[in-house]
């Protein structure tokens, strides 16, 4: 991360990095995900406030043969995350979001720390990296953010459909104070965002899918005070160099 990217993350709570992964790497990741029977069997549905469905598959563990692990362990993602958060980071979990054409539901306004606080993390010194596997547009429900909203601190969250969303009164006040940005991404683009950043996405009303891989990290000093919680406690994360990551992702295209 350069100084301008670090400044943007601190000021806005997010930063977009274009072409973090090249098209060949993303074709490999998508080919693997489309043929991943275990991913399909593990995925589950979350309905938005209007009953529309989005499917996701969440994993706490890393399998060193998978392209998902390659992305999580990559210097491009984990190394950058350590710079942004100012400490060693470890893998908290990762998830594939599967927002299908015409049926993919919305995600309500929320902060990730709105959930993670309840899992024993004392500080909001956590962040996620969303990598666009498919093209993300306003039409197919790209991520929306309120730049600077991470400075609000943690907002109370409650049920919204089958999801958990931020307090609507606080969200309304935030919408009046912060700009709304639609984060349109090409495959391989990534957005790094702070755990307290308010974000959401619309339903996918297009004919095109929007699949994305979200890698979530915690800092070493923020090891959860609850052991055996929903997500892992601290353990060192092995970082892989770009060549190893590239080779594994590209090899995933092989039949």
For the chain, domains (ranges, CATH) are 3-251 (2.60.120.620)
- pLDDT at residue 60, as a whole number: 93
List Cβ neighbours of 125 (8 Å cut-off, separation of 6 or more). 85, 86, 87, 195, 218, 219, 221, 222
> Which residue matches tokens 């098209």?
23
Name the token pair of 53: 């469905």
- pLDDT at residue 49, as a whole number: 62
The dihedral over CA atoms of 218, 223, 227, 231, expressed in degrees to the nearest 10, equals 0
> Which residue matches tokens 């683009």?
189
- pLDDT at residue 255, as a whole number: 57
- pLDDT at residue 65, as a whole number: 85
Q: What is the pLDDT along the chain (255 residues), one digit of tens a residue?
A: 899 999 999 999 999 999 999 999 999 999 999 888 788 777 776 666 666 667 788 999 998 889 999 999 999 999 999 999 999 999 999 999 988 886 666 789 999 999 999 999 999 999 999 999 999 999 999 999 999 999 999 999 987 666 778 999 999 999 999 999 999 999 999 999 999 999 999 988 899 999 999 999 999 999 999 887 789 999 999 999 999 999 999 998 765
């Amino acid at each position: 991360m350069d100084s301008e990217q670090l400044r943007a993350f601190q000021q806005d709570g997010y930063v977009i990095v274009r072409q973090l992964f090249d098209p060949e790497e993303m074709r490999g990741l998508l080919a693997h995900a489309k043929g991943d029977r275990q991913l399909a069997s593990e995925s589950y549905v979350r309905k938005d406030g209007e009953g529309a469905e989005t499917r996701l598959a969440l994993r706490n563990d890393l399998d060193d043969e998978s392209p998902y692990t390659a992305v999580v362990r990559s210097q491009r993602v984990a190394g950058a995350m350590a710079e942004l958060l100012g400490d060693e980071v470890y893998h908290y979990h990762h998830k594939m979001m599967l927002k299908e054409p015409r049926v993919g539901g919305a995600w309500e306004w929320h902060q990730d720390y709105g959930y993670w606080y309840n899992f024993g993390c004392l500080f909001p010194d956590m962040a996620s990296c969303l990598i666009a596997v498919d093209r993300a547009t306003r039409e197919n429900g790209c991520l929306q953010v309120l730049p600077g909203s991470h400075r609000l601190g943690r907002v109370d969250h409650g049920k919204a459909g089958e999801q958990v969303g931020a307090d609507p009164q606080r969200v309304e006040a935030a919408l009046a104070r912060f700009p709304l940005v639609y984060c349109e991404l090409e495959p391989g683009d990534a957005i790094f965002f702070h755990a307290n950043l308010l974000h959401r996405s619309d339903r996918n009303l297009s004919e095109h899918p929007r699949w994305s891989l979200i890698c979530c990290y915690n800092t070493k000093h923020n090891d959860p005070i609850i052991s055996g919680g929903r997500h892992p406690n601290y353990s060192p994360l092995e970082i892989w160099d770009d060549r190893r990551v590239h080779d594994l992702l590209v090899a995933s295209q092989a039949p």
